[in-house]
Amino acid sequence: MIVKMYKVILLLSAKQREAALEKLRSLGVLHIQYVQNPQHEDIDALQTEAAHIERALQIIGDEKSAQKNVGKEKISTVVEKILTLAETRKRLTGELEECLETYRWFQKWGVISYASVQSLKEVGVFVRFYVADKSALTRLVADKPIHIAREDKHSICFAYFAESTEDRLDLKEERIPEVEVASLEANIEHIQKEMKKVDQELKKSRGVGDSLMAYRDGLKKRIEFNEVKYSMGEEDRFGYLQGFCPLESAVRIKKTADREGWAYIIQEPDNPGEVPTLIRKPKWLRIIDPLFKFMGTVPGYDEYDISFWFLFFFSLFFGILIGDAGYGLVFLGLTLFASKKAGKKVPKEPFRLVTVLSVATLIWGLITGNWFGFERIARIPFLDRFVIDQIDGFASDNSMFMMHLCFVIGIVHLSIAHGIRAFRIINSPRALGELGWICILWTLFFVAGSLVIGQPMPSFWSYLFVAGIVLALVFSNFQKNVLKGMGQTLGDMPLSIISSFSDVVSYLRLFAVGSASVTVASSFNNMAIGGGIHSIVGGLIAALILFLGHSLNIMLGMMSVIVHGVRLNMLEFSGHLDMQWAGKKYQPFKE
């Protein structure tokens, strides 16, 4: 249920402002709406400090280490030291790369003294270094003074001893680094020693990770406090702020304001688009929250809490799309094991959600007779009692029924959406407009059944369609000027009907993907053991094929759940609810 919110405006004197904000934060119930964009040098300084701490934490990493407490007064010194060490390591890394790049030249050409090359130049011998393919040697004059330093299948490195500065070969020339090998090796060794010292210092710094994180969290609270402070509106010697909270919280704010002498206004919000969304639901239904959090979706304040319907249909879609009782057992076992290993500190909602989804998969696989894609398992005397013939996953003549079942699931799903809308406006004539769209949807359901699976249209379909068109046309945008409302509806109606037909047909994806999953599993089974197992090696290969094949099938199934299972709830169902999922979460200003 989306909780009703109230808008609160507080008027404070300049002297009261900071103390009032402290008390307001201790209440922890008001979601602040900025009156103006908070900009101030205090905020900038705190954000810079927080960024430095974040950078320091990234540098030392999250590897476990013995922790030591660091006083707040020493935090800045510790952070500065870590950042300086990181900069030093970055500089040393660059210098080492340059030295190693130079050293690689000598590894290719050999130990050549730069000083010796310069001495030869002084007596009129100019040593030049070339890299070329082997065919280039055949084009050189035989008496050219060259020395081959290294060669491989395709290329050759050689030195050419020229007699003048102009004497050059028309080949790729490389220049000798202006350094001696011995000094280069000494420099590399020195840099590596310095880097080792820096790494040791950084390793020691891991012990302050907890202190840095605690201080960072405190900084975030100070930043939030200052953002609220400097977002307040200004009028003469007074400041004012505004926000939103539930009714029971508004009563607490009122009592505090009366006691502290704050001026206030508490009223119903005039713009639902500004209001944050607070959803309260029973504990058993909170298991769907991790999925909403993963998707980052929050319904708008004036929209709907569809947690129950989302959980119910998503579980159904998950079971159909995965469609294998064996997989369901694997999911269930792994979930129970992981939940036990995670302990009490880890939230249980994700494990409970996966448990529900696993049970849904197990039940669907049980009634369709699909166990790891093996038909024989479902024919075991005890298990065959649960198989429903019309939806048997291995029957060759039930595809029409399965498609019809998907249409039924779709029409029920979409009808519920319009039913929810009608219930909200039950005292308005517009509720009849929603009833009209339900009639139109059922007509489209019959049309889809006729076109796709050849089912006969019921005799009353035309009356149902006409009734739906009339109700939707007259009441969907009902207003005093009836003709104007009908005109608004009529402009969108053709496209809406086409879109609704597409939505109904869209539920066929459940049958298509579910059938594909069974086919893939069966194919890997046949590939692995279809011809029998005649040796230990053959058994090992078969086991490997089964493991890889079913792992791939599970991954494809999980992708289909995200692509199709979530989509049917977030697009088709939510679209008929006219939900935009444009809400923002209720986040009160608190300690």
Phi-psi map region of 347: left, alpha, beta (phi>0 left; psi -120 to 50 alpha): beta
In-domain check, residue 108? no
Same domain, 77 and 124: no
Burial string for 230-239 (b: 16+ CB within 10 Å, else e) reads bbbeeeeeeb
Q: Is the pLDDT of residue 67 over 80?
A: no
- Which helix (H) or strand (E) segment is 51 a member of? helix 41-60
In-domain check, residue 28? no
Comparison of pLDDT for 95 and 169, the residue scoring more: 95
In-domain check, residue 30? no
DSSP string, 337-380: HHHHHH-SSS-SHHHHHHHHHHHHHHHHHHHHT-BTTBHHHHTS
Q: CA 301 → CA 420, 507, 574, 580, distances in Å?
A: 16, 29, 15, 11
Residue 431 tokens read as: 């509720």
**Distance from the Cα of residue 178 to its chain's centroid:** 52
Q: Is the pLDDT of residue 226 over 80?
A: yes
Q: What is the pLDDT of residue 479?
A: 83
Q: Is the pLDDT of residue 173 over 70?
A: yes
Same domain, 77 and 142: no
Same domain, 354 and 440: yes
Q: What is the pLDDT of residues 88-97, one digit of tens each?
A: 999 999 999 9
Burial string for 581-591 (b: 16+ CB within 10 Å, else e) reads eebeebebbee
Same domain, 397 and 532: yes
Q: Which is nearest to 557 in space by CA: 515, 586, 506?
A: 515
Same domain, 538 and 486: yes
Given 278, 305, 338, the domain boundary residue is 278
**Distance from the Cα of residue 557 to its chain's centroid:** 18
Same domain, 443 and 499: yes
Among 58-62, 240-244, 404-408, 511-515, name the one with the lowest average pLDDT.
Answer: 58-62
Same domain, 461 and 547: yes
Given 195, 212, 230, the domain boundary residue is 230
Confidence of residue 395 (pLDDT cuts 50, 70, 90): confident
Q: Which residues contact 261 (CB under 8 A, 6 or more apart)?
A: 16
Q: Is the pLDDT of residue 408 over 90?
A: yes
Q: Which residue has the tokens 């000494």?
A: 186
Q: What is the pLDDT of residue 141?
A: 57
For residues 250-277, give the mean pLDDT. 92
Confidence of residue 143 (pLDDT cuts 50, 70, 90): low
Taken in order 90, 91, 94, 100, the sign of the CA dihedral is negative
Q: CA 305 → CA 302, 349, 435, 565, distances in Å?
A: 10, 18, 21, 18
Same domain, 505 and 553: yes
Q: Which residue has the tokens 């969304």?
A: 277
Comparison of pLDDT for 472 and 72, the residue scoring more: 472
Mean pLDDT in the chain?
A: 90
Tell me if 393 sits within 8 A of 518, measured CB to CB: yes
Tell me if 299 sits within 8 A of 277, measured CB to CB: yes
Tell me if 59 sits within 8 A of 86, measured CB to CB: yes
Q: What is the pLDDT of residues 21-47, one digit of tens each?
A: 999 999 999 999 999 999 899 999 999
What is the percent of the chain where pLDDT is above 90?
A: 63
Same domain, 226 and 252: no
Q: What is the pLDDT of residue 182?
A: 92
Return d(Cα 289, Cα 281) in angstroms, integer.
Answer: 10
Q: What is the pLDDT of residue 277?
A: 95
Tell me if 230 sits within 8 A of 40, measured CB to CB: yes
Q: CA 354 → CA 319, 357, 555, distances in Å?
A: 11, 5, 15
Find the domain containing 206 and state its range: 38-101+186-230
Q: Which is nearest to 46 in space by CA: 185, 253, 205, 229?
A: 229
In-domain check, residue 380? yes
Same domain, 287 and 270: no
Same domain, 271 and 390: no
Which residues are 374's β-sheet partners?
A: 371
Burial of 525 (0-12, 13-18, 19+ CB in 10 A): buried
Confidence of residue 138 (pLDDT cuts 50, 70, 90): low
For residues 59-80, give the mean pLDDT. 81
Q: Which residue has the tokens 């270094």?
A: 129
Q: Which residues contact 542 (CB under 8 A, 6 or more apart)?
A: 528, 529, 533
Q: What is the pLDDT of residues 353-372, one digit of tens each?
A: 999 999 999 999 999 999 99
Confidence of residue 102 (pLDDT cuts 50, 70, 90): very high
Q: Is 507 helix (H, G, I), strand (E, B) or coil?
A: coil
Phi, psi angle pair for 3, to nearest 5°: -75, 140
Return d(Cα 382, Cα 543) in angstroms, integer.
Answer: 26
In-domain check, residue 583? no
Q: What is the pLDDT of residue 542?
A: 87
Q: What is the pLDDT of residues 415-455, one digit of tens each?
A: 999 999 999 999 999 999 999 999 999 999 999 999 999 99
Return d(Cα 475, Cα 464) in angstroms, integer.
Answer: 16
In-domain check, residue 327? yes
In-domain check, residue 107? no
Return d(Cα 412, Cα 410) in angstroms, integer.
Answer: 5
Comparison of pLDDT for 64 and 574, the residue scoring more: 574
Tell me if 128 sits within 8 A of 169, measured CB to CB: yes
Tell me if 477 sits within 8 A of 524, measured CB to CB: no
Return d(Cα 544, Cα 533) in angstroms, integer.
Answer: 13
Same domain, 222 and 245: no
For residues 138-152, give the mean pLDDT. 76
**Distance from the Cα of residue 176 to its chain's centroid:** 52
Domain count, the chain: 4
- The alpha helices in 206-279, defined as continuous H runs, are 209-230, 247-260
Q: Which is nearest to 468 in space by CA: 504, 498, 501, 444?
A: 444
What is the percent of the chain where pLDDT is above 70?
A: 98
Q: CA 232 → CA 106, 296, 360, distances in Å?
A: 67, 29, 51
DSSP state of 283: G
Half-sphere exposure of residue 420: CA atoms within 13 angstroms, side-chain side: 21
Q: What is the pLDDT of residue 322?
A: 94
Quote the crossing angle between the two packed helices 307-322 and 508-529, to the nearest 10°.
30
Q: What is the pLDDT of residue 142?
A: 61
- The alpha helices in 61-180, defined as continuous H runs, are 72-109, 114-122, 135-138
In-domain check, residue 31? no
Among 52-66, 354-368, 417-431, 512-526, name the one with the lowest average pLDDT.
Answer: 52-66
